[in-house]
Amino acid sequence: MKRQLILLVVGFLIAALLLAGCSSQAPAPQGGNSQQSQQGQGTAQGAIQIKYAVVGPDDHPYTIMAKKFKELVEDKTNGQVQVTIFPNAQLGSEREMAEGVRMGTIQMTTVTSDGTLPAWTPELQVFSIPYLFRDRDHAYKVLDGNVGKELGDKLLAQGLRSLGFCELGWRHFTNNVRPIAKPEDAKGLKIRVQEAKVWFSLVKALGATPTPIPFGELYTALQQRTVDGQENPVATIRSMKFYEVQKYLTLDGHTYSAGSVLINPKFYDSLSPDIQKAIQDSATEAISYQREVIAQKEAEDLQFLKDKGMEVTEPDRNAFVEATKNVPEEVKDMVPLELVEQVRNTK
């Protein structure tokens, strides 16, 4: 009886060991190794999953970019890559989305180049130097040329791979107190700015008070009069419905604002060369498409804002250029003057 009991116990132990061995040799999820699966690749169908987070609603410039990228990359890869777009800051503020891409919890995002990103790459504040860009063509040559590549390399060193720069557009001031036709008209106004040194210098040069507020909280801040005004392209003023809480629009075009299209480097490096090429090509094509859409919509958006009751002022731009001429010198510790000249001299 004792011998039978011993044999029974031994049998149970052998069976348990066999089950443990089988579990340790279970196949990895389809779509890649376990590290790749953790980064969004593994699904039952084997498709590579990309979470693409943006801060604006459906008609915001960055959402337009994301939707075109999704269409292109899914087509180019025959569905091997699947993109899920998270608009309306569902995955956090621009700072939180950029952090998510750096950490790998989000695969892709598009954020304002000279807004959040200077926290890691201060040189991106070059886009905030007032009245630096002559026109769109000048901006595109800078973004798609050597300057854009150099800034992309600096982003990569900080854990963010740049796929290029899409368009947010020319930035203009709005406020709810009075029209701004000359720099003196801005004196004393509280203006919401992005949290970067150059924005503080720009607004102070006009005699206004710079006030950093997260973009997702800006409508409420304007509505509650926490700040008097803000500055953004007309497409953003329309898509975010700032016209509901702002009366005056000043078309000074102080800066050209670009959106950085970003992907997690480790995620990107884990993909096959063919998929990497499809992602980069799709981003490049989507950027070209998105720029064209935003440029064409500018006049339409401006008319929409007028129809909604905004009072539009076209100021003496030269007076604003003169008032802000010392800004590059004030931020040279973060934006080298050589970089400013490199942008200015790009042909």
Work out the average pLDDT over 303-309. Answer: 98
* C-alpha–C-alpha distance, residues 175 and 40, integer Å: 43
- Secondary structure class of 65 (helix, strand, coil): helix
- Secondary structure class of 35 (helix, strand, coil): helix
Work out the average pLDDT over 59-71. Answer: 96
For residue 33, give both structure tokens: 């190794």
For residue 224, give both structure tokens: 């509650």
User: What pLDDT is stored for residue 196 in this prediction?
Assistant: 81
User: What pLDDT is stored for residue 13 in this prediction?
Assistant: 47
Query: What are the φ/ψ torsions at residue 14 (nearest 5 degrees)?
Result: -65, -45
**Residue found under tokens 């000048």:** 138
Q: Which of 114, 193, 216 is nearest to 155 (CA)?
A: 114
Work out the average pLDDT over 299-321. Answer: 96
Beta bridge partners of 171: 255
Q: What is the pLDDT of residues 130-177, one digit of tens each?
A: 999 999 999 999 999 999 999 999 999 999 999 999 999 999 999 999
What is the DSSP secondary structure assignment for residue 238, as one 8-state letter? Answer: H
- Burial pattern 84-98, b for ≥16 Cβ within 10 A else e, equals ebbbebebbbbbbbb
User: What pLDDT is stored for residue 21 in this prediction?
Assistant: 45
Q: What is the pLDDT of residues 30-61, one digit of tens each?
A: 333 333 333 444 443 589 999 999 999 999 99
* C-alpha–C-alpha distance, residues 98 and 109, integer Å: 7
User: What pLDDT is stored for residue 194 in this prediction?
Assistant: 86
Q: What is the pLDDT of residues 201-244, one digit of tens each?
A: 999 999 999 999 999 899 999 999 999 999 999 999 999 999 99
User: What pLDDT is stored for residue 7 in this prediction?
Assistant: 44
Q: Which domains does the chain have, with CATH numbers?
A: 33-336 (3.40.190.170)
Work out the average pLDDT over 88-96. Answer: 95
**Is the dihedral angle over the CA atoms 61, 62, 65, 66 positive or is it negative?**
negative
Q: How confident is the model at residue 92 (pLDDT cuts 50, 70, 90)?
A: very high
Q: Is the pLDDT of residue 81 over 60?
A: yes
* C-alpha–C-alpha distance, residues 61 and 75, integer Å: 22
**Residue found under tokens 């969004």:** 40
Q: Is the pLDDT of residue 2 over 50?
A: no
What is the DSSP secondary structure assignment for residue 122, as one 8-state letter? Answer: G
Neighbours of 202 (CB within 10 A): 27
What is the DSSP secondary structure assignment for residue 179, as one 8-state letter? Answer: -
Q: How confident is the model at residue 116 (pLDDT cuts 50, 70, 90)?
A: confident
pTM over 0.75: yes
User: What pLDDT is stored for residue 186 in this prediction?
Assistant: 97
Q: How confident is the model at residue 328 (pLDDT cuts 50, 70, 90)?
A: very high
Q: How confident is the model at residue 14 (pLDDT cuts 50, 70, 90)?
A: very low
* C-alpha–C-alpha distance, residues 223 and 234, integer Å: 18
